[in-house]
Chain A
Amino acid sequence: MFLNSVILILQEILEAALLVSVLLVLSKHHGIKPIWLLPAIIIGVTGALIFAINMAQISEWFDYVGQEVMNAFMQLAILFFLSFLTALHPKNRWVSIFMLITTSLALTREGSEIFIYIGGVIGQAPYIQSTHIQPTLTGAGIGAGIGVSVGVLIYYGLLGLSSRYIVASSVLLLALVGGNMASQATLLLTQADWLPYSQILWNSSALLPENSIFGHLLYALVGYEATPSLFQVISYVCGILLVYLCWCFNLSRIDHQAKYKSPDINVHINI
């Protein structure tokens, strides 16, 4: 129970930790106060609790595929809000709001699974020996600790880069998160039979199995799949491109403004 708990919680926390660290780096780099973080955590944890408590009902929506549809919807929402905030000028006040929404959605998704797992083990107390509860909670604490530590490492790692690489590296990581969200949403909608089946493109499970430690890490961070389908790969690439193109749009606008020394950042420019 102990190791299982560590891996399960770590995987959930890592996905959210990567996103939050990168958004915090962008906030710091652009001088945006990270006032969005606390409300995002409160909304995200509350959302996760509500999602977890109602999971049984939600799962029965849309002819028993509500869980897939709701998760895919949240993942696509994360992708779009990430793209919006990358496309905006860093000083635009909507950037903080989109950071808040993205983080809340990520925490809701990841947190609900943790609550269901832990809630299940604790709720089982009358049926099993309580000896299972202690290792599960200890494992969860350690998993969460490692996950948050990796997030802190990513944060300081990015901030340690020279100034010109900080934004580029952050956007690259956000693009990978975006690709991961698109690919996972596609997988869930295929599982729900809302999207048609597409062939498996390759099998790298001999090279890097998904159930290895490194496989788990890569799955959580960049959505590694050993046997991805054609539609998953296409959506992964589209997700990356969407975030990247939004950033390019932003760059071209900032360059344009710098060239013409426009004092008003919100001025409408015809490119």
Chain B
Amino acid sequence: MALSLVLFGSHAAFAATPVIKIKIQDHLFFPEIIEIPAYTKVKLLINNLDPTAEEFESYELNREKIISGNRKAIIFIGPLPPGEYPFFGEFYPKTAQGKVVVVEQ
């Protein structure tokens, strides 16, 4: 009984991981500002609509990942305390910029 509760609990926690969709187009992130709940793990689903590769990078989030042209990628972030976490496209940093805003729910 206890085991099934634990299993169910972990399954529920896994299923509850929120997914945030971001797209890259003309070396820009859409949306540029992403709001996520505090202290929650979040799955970023990034869809690169450009023919060129981009590298999602954030010093504040400690994340770095190449997303090939016309492909999708998944990056897990958090759980994070409230605050602002800028990110950018390392291959086109002048234009591809955005931030994750973590808010207390």
Residues of A within 8 A of B (CB): 4, 8, 55-56, 59-60, 63-65, 67-68, 113, 116-117, 119-121, 123-124, 127, 187, 190-193, 197, 205, 209-211, 225-229
Contacts and interface: CB of A to CB of B under 8 A. Distances in A.
B76 A55 contact: no
9 contacts: A8-B91, A59-B68, A67-B65, A68-B65, A117-B91, A193-B76, A197-B78, A227-B62, A229-B62
Interface in B53-101: 53, 55, 59-60, 62-63, 65-69, 71-76, 78-79, 90-91, 93-94
Nearest to A228: B62
Nearest to B68: A56
Contacts of B91: 4, 8, 117, 120
A123 B68 CA distance: 12
Interface string B36-61: 00000101000000011101000110
Mostly, the B contact residues are: loop
A120 B65 contact: no
A56 B71 contact: yes
Contacts of A116: 53, 66, 68
B63 A4 contact: no
Contact of A197 (B41, B53, B55, B90): B41
Contacts of A226: 59
A248 B7 CA distance: 45
A228 B62 CA distance: 8
Contact of A123 (B52, B59, B66, B72): B52
A225 B62 contact: yes
Nearest to B75: A191
Contacts of B74: 63-65
B51 A123 contact: yes
B73 A59 contact: yes
A94 B12 CA distance: 50
B59 A59 contact: no
A8 B78 CA distance: 26
Given A120-B52, A124-B52, 13 more contacts: A55-B66, A59-B68, A60-B71, A63-B74, A67-B73, A117-B53, A119-B53, A120-B91, A123-B52, A190-B76, A205-B59, A211-B59, A227-B60
Contacts of B43: 193
Contacts of A68: 65
A13 B30 CA distance: 32
Contacts of A8: 90-91
Contacts of B76: 190-193
A56 B55 CA distance: 13
B59 A187 contact: no
A210 B68 contact: no
Nearest to B78: A197
Contacts of B69: 56, 120, 123
Nearest to B43: A193
Contacts of A119: 53
A91 B91 CA distance: 44
B51 A124 contact: yes
B62 A120 contact: no
Contacts of B68: 55-56, 59, 116
Contacts of B79: 197
